[in-house]
Chain A
Amino acid sequence: MAIVPPLPSRHVLAMLLLGLVFASALVLTRGASLEPADYVMNNGSEVQTLDPATVTGVPEGRVLRAIFEGLIVKHPKTLEPLPGSAESWEVSDDGLTWTFHIRRGAQWTNGDELTAEDWIYSWRRFLHPLTASYYAYQLWYVAGARQYTRQPEDRSFDASPTGGLWYQRTSDGQVKVGLHGYLLEHMTGEVSVTLPSNPAQKPTIHAGDQSWTLPFSLTNPASNPKAPTSAADALARCYGLESDDKSGWLLKGSLTESDWNAVHANGVLLDGATYRAEVADPQHLKIWTTDSHTLHVTLNSPTPYFLDLTGFYPTFPVNRRNIKEAQERWPDRWEIEWLRAENIVTNGPFKLIERRVNDRIRLAKNETYWDADNVAMNSIDILAIEQDSTMLNMYLTGGCDAIDRVNTNVVQELWGREDFQPTPYLGTYFYRFNVNQPPYDDVRVRQALSMVIPRQAICDKVMKMGQVPASSLTPSGIGAYTPPSMNMGSPEEARMLLAAAGYPGGKDFPPVEIHYNTSEAHSSIAQVIALAWQDELGIRTKLRNEEWKVYLDTQQNLRFQVSRSAWIGDYADPNTFIDMFVTGGENNKTGWGNPEYDRLVKAAGAELDPQHRLQFLGEAEALLLDEMPILPIYYYVTQNLTAPRLGGNSENVLDEHFPKFWYWMDDAELAEKRANYPKEFETVAPHGPPEGLYSPAQLRERQQQ
Chain B
Amino acid sequence: MIRFLFRRLMWFVVTMTVVMSVSFFLMKNVKGGPFDTERALEPAIEANIQARYHLDWPLWKQFLHYTGPFNLDERGLGGNQEKVLGGVLSGDFGPSFRYRDFTVNDIIGQALPISALLGVVSMMWALALGVSTGIASALRRGSGVDLALRLAATGGIALPNFVIAGFLIIIFVFMIPLLPVAGWGSIKEMLLPGFCLGLVYAAYLARLTRTGMLEALSQDHIRTAQAKGLSPRTVVLRHALKGGLLPVVSYLGPATAGILTGSLVIERIFFIPGLGSHFVNSASNRDYTLAMGVTILYTVLVYSMNTVVDLAYTLLDPRIDLAEEA
Contact = CB atoms under 8 A, between A and B. Distances in A.
B101 A49 contact: yes
B220 interface: no
A336 B101 CA distance: 5
A692 interface: no
B33 A336 contact: no
B120 A24 contact: yes
Contact of B107 (A133, A357, A556): A357
A243 interface: no
Contact of A28 (B33, B44, B113, B284): B113
B321 interface: no
Residue of A9, A357, A552 most packed against chain B (CB within 10 A): A357
B325 interface: no
B53 to A, nearest CB: 8
Interface in A123-168: 129-134, 136-137, 149-150, 153, 155, 158-161
A242 interface: no
B180 interface: yes
B261 to A, nearest CB: 13
A32 B184 contact: yes
A24 B117 contact: yes
Residue of B124, B180, B183, B284 most packed against chain A (CB within 10 A): B183
Contact of B42 (A47, A48, A159, A586): A586
A159 B183 CA distance: 46
Given A9-B315, A336-B95, A393 B173 contact: yes
A356 B99 contact: no
B57 to A, nearest CB: 12
Contacts of A131: 48
B163 interface: no
A387 interface: yes
B104 to A, nearest CB: 11
A199 B206 CA distance: 77
Contact of A550 (B31, B37, B181): B31
Contacts of B99: 46-49, 357
Contact of A50 (B78, B98, B101, B121): B101
A631 B80 CA distance: 54
B37 A24 contact: no
Given A332-B75, A549-B32, A132 B49 contact: yes
A32 B52 contact: no
Which size bracket describes the interface of B in this complex? 35 or more
Contacts of A399: 180-183
B44 A150 contact: yes
Given A225-B82, A273-B82, A393 B111 contact: no
B76 to A, nearest CB: 9
Contact of A357 (B36, B102, B182, B270): B102
A331 B117 contact: no
A404 B98 CA distance: 21
A547 B185 CA distance: 34
Contacts of A32: 184-186
A219 interface: no
Contact of A390 (B268, B278, B285): B268
Nearest to A332: B83
Interface residues of A, number: 79
A584 to B, nearest CB: 11
B65 to A, nearest CB: 14
Interface string B96-128: 001111110011001101101100110010000
A160 B273 contact: no
Nearest to B114: A28
A160 B31 contact: no
A335 B103 CA distance: 10
B105 to A, nearest CB: 10
B273 A552 contact: no
Given A357-B273, A549-B33, A332 B82 contact: yes
Contacts of A153: 48, 51
Contact of A394 (B113, B124, B182, B278): B182
B34 to A, nearest CB: 9
Interface in A326-384: 331-333, 335-336, 339-340, 355-359, 383-384
B81 interface: yes
Given A24-B120, A132-B52, A155-B51, A336 B185 contact: no
A122 B116 CA distance: 41
Contacts of B35: 134
Contacts of A359: 184, 271, 273
A24 B109 CA distance: 11
A159 B79 contact: yes
Interface string A553-589: 1101000000000100000000000000000001101
Contacts of A133: 45, 48
Contacts, number: 196
Contacts of A418: none
A273 B74 CA distance: 8
Contact of A548 (B74, B106, B180, B284): B284
B281 to A, nearest CB: 8
A54 interface: yes
A273 B114 contact: no
Interface in A385-407: 385-387, 389-390, 393-394, 396-397, 399
Contact of B102 (A34, A336, A393): A336
A337 B261 CA distance: 27
A134 B39 contact: yes
A178 interface: no
Given A48-B98, A48-B99, A356-B273, A549 B45 contact: no
Contacts of B183: 394, 399
A159 to B, nearest CB: 4
Interface string B117-149: 100110010000000000000000000000000
A566 B38 contact: yes
A27 interface: yes
A390 B182 contact: yes
Contacts of B268: 386-387, 390
B208 interface: no
Contact of B100 (A27, A48, A333, A355): A48
Contacts of A589: 40
Contacts of B285: 549
A356 B53 CA distance: 24
Contact of A552 (B32, B74, B75, B173): B32
B277 interface: yes
Given A356-B273, A394-B271, A553 B41 contact: no
Contacts of A340: 101
Nearest to A271: B80
A333 B105 CA distance: 13
A387 B269 contact: yes
Interface in B257-285: 268-271, 273-274, 277-278, 284-285
Contacts of A17: 120
Residue of B39, B75, B78, B120 most packed against chain A (CB within 10 A): B39
Interface string B44-67: 110011011100000000000000
8 contacts: A9-B315, A21-B121, A132-B51, A225-B82, A273-B79, A390-B269, A394-B183, A397-B181
Q: Which 3 interchain pairs have the tightest Cβ spacing? A: A549-B32, A359-B273, A159-B79
Given A336-B95, A549-B30, 12 more contacts: A13-B312, A48-B99, A56-B37, A149-B45, A155-B74, A331-B82, A336-B103, A339-B101, A549-B36, A549-B284, A552-B36, A552-B37
Interface of B: 30-33, 35-45, 48-49, 51-53, 74-75, 78-83, 95, 98-103, 106-107, 110-111, 113-114, 116-117, 120-121, 124, 169, 173-174, 177, 180-186, 268-271, 273-274, 277-278, 284-286, 312, 315
